Structure 1
Amino acid sequence: MRALTVHPGVPGSARLEEIAEPDAAAGSALVEVLAVGVCGTDREIVEGQYGAAPPGEERLVLGHESLGRVLEAPPGEGLAAGDLVVGIVRRPDPVPCACCAAGEWDMCRNGRYTERGIKALHGFCAERVRVEPGFLVKLPPELDRIGVLVEPASVVAKAWEQIERIGRRAAWFPRSVLVTGAGPIGLLAALLGVQRGLSVHVLDRVTRGPKPQLVRDLGAAYHTGEVSVACPGVDIILECTGVGQLVFDAMRSTAPGGIVCLTGISSGKRLLEANFAALNRGLVLENDVVFGTVNANRRHYEAAVRALAQADPAWLERLITRRAPLDRWREALDRGPEDVKAVIELSPPSPAPPRSPPPHAR
Structure 2
Amino acid sequence: MKAITVEPKKPGTAKLMDIPEPGVHEGSVLVQAVAVGVCGTDVEIVEGKYGWAPPGQKHLVLGHESLGRVIDPGPTSGLKKGDLVVGIVRRPDPVPCPNCAVGEWDMCSNGLYTERGIKEINGYMSEYWRIEPEYAIKVDPTLGLLGVLLEPSSVVAKALEQVGLIGRRSFWEPRTALITGAGPIGLLAALFAKLYGLDVHVLDRAAGGLKVDLVRELGATYHSGSVKDLDFEPDTIIECTGVGQVIAESIQRIGANGIVCLAGIGHGGASPTSSIADVASAAVLRNNVIVGSVNANKRHWYRASQYLARADRGWLTKLITRIEKPENFMKALQRSPDDIKVVIQFSDI
Corresponding residue number in structure 2 for 1:353: none
What's the offset of the Cα at 1:38? 0.2
Corresponding residue number in structure 1 for 2:121: 121
Pair 1:341 & 2:341 matched? yes
Corresponding residue number in structure 2 for 1:82: 82
How big is each residue's C-alpha offset from its partner over 1:310-350, in whole Å with a ceiling of 9 and x where there is no partner? 0001100100000011111122111011100000000121x
Q: Name the CA distance, whole Å, in 2 between partners of 1:33 and 1:209.
A: 32
What's the offset of the Cα at 1:23? 1.7
Corresponding residue number in structure 2 for 1:285: 285
Corresponding residue number in structure 1 for 2:242: 242
What's the offset of the Cα at 1:269? 4.6
Corresponding residue number in structure 1 for 2:263: 263
- TM-score w.r.t. length of structure 2: 0.98
| Contact map agreement 1:201 1:231 (CA 8 A) in 2 | no
Q: Name the CA distance, whole Å, in 2 between partners of 1:269 and 1:247.
A: 12
Corresponding residue number in structure 1 for 2:63: 63
What's the offset of the Cα at 1:48? 0.6
Corresponding residue number in structure 1 for 2:322: 322
The farther-off stretch of 271-280 and 44-53 is 271-280
Corresponding residue number in structure 1 for 2:12: 12
How big is each residue's C-alpha offset from its partner over 1:172-204, in whole Å with a ceiling of 9 and x where there is no partner? 100000000000000000001100111100000
Q: Name the CA distance, whole Å, in 1 between partners of 2:127 and 2:209.
A: 33
Q: Name the CA distance, whole Å, in 2 between partners of 1:196 and 1:72.
A: 37
How big is each residue's C-alpha offset from its partner over 1:78-115, in whole Å with a ceiling of 9 and x where there is no partner? 11111100000000000000000000000000000000
| Contact map agreement 1:257 1:288 (CA 8 A) in 2 | yes
The farther-off stretch of 121-130 and 328-337 is 328-337
- Structure 2: any 5+ residue segments left out of the alignment? none
Q: Report the residue type matching 1:212 in the other structure.
A: V
| Contact map agreement 2:94 2:112 (CA 8 A) in 1 | yes
Q: Report the residue type matching 2:76 in the other structure.
A: G
User: Closer, same or farther in 2 for the Cα pair 1:159/1:115, shift >3 Å?
Assistant: same
User: Closer, same or farther in 2 for the Cα pair 1:269/1:11, shift >3 Å?
Assistant: farther
Q: Name the CA distance, whole Å, in 2 between partners of 1:22 and 1:188.
A: 33
- TM-score w.r.t. length of structure 1: 0.95
| Contact map agreement 2:245 2:271 (CA 8 A) in 1 | no
Pair 1:164 & 2:164 matched? yes
What's the offset of the Cα at 1:231? 5.0
Between the aligned residues of both structures, percent identity stands at: 55
| Contact map agreement 1:256 1:287 (CA 8 A) in 2 | yes
Q: Name the CA distance, whole Å, in 1 between partners of 2:231 and 2:159.
A: 20
Q: 1:1-362, aligned counterparts within 5 Å? A: 1-230=1-230, 232-349=232-349
What secondary structure, in the 3-state scheme, does the structure 1 residue paired with 2:9 have?
coil
Q: Report the residue type matching 1:56 in the other structure.
A: G
What's the offset of the Cα at 1:270? 3.9
User: Closer, same or farther in 2 for the Cα pair 1:212/1:169, shift >3 Å?
Assistant: same
Q: Name the CA distance, whole Å, in 1 between partners of 2:307 and 2:120.
A: 30
Corresponding residue number in structure 2 for 1:360: none
| Contact map agreement 2:156 2:188 (CA 8 A) in 1 | yes
Q: Report the residue type matching 2:41 in the other structure.
A: T
Q: Name the CA distance, whole Å, in 2 between partners of 1:244 and 1:348.
A: 41
What's the offset of the Cα at 1:266? 1.3
| Contact map agreement 2:29 2:77 (CA 8 A) in 1 | no
Q: Name the CA distance, whole Å, in 2 between partners of 1:266 and 1:173.
A: 30
Q: Report the residue type matching 2:117 in the other structure.
A: G
Q: Report the residue type matching 2:17 in the other structure.
A: E
The farther-off stretch of 335-344 and 224-233 is 224-233
What's the offset of the Cα at 1:272? 3.6
Q: Report the residue type matching 1:110 in the other structure.
A: N
CA RMSD of aligned residues (A): 1.0
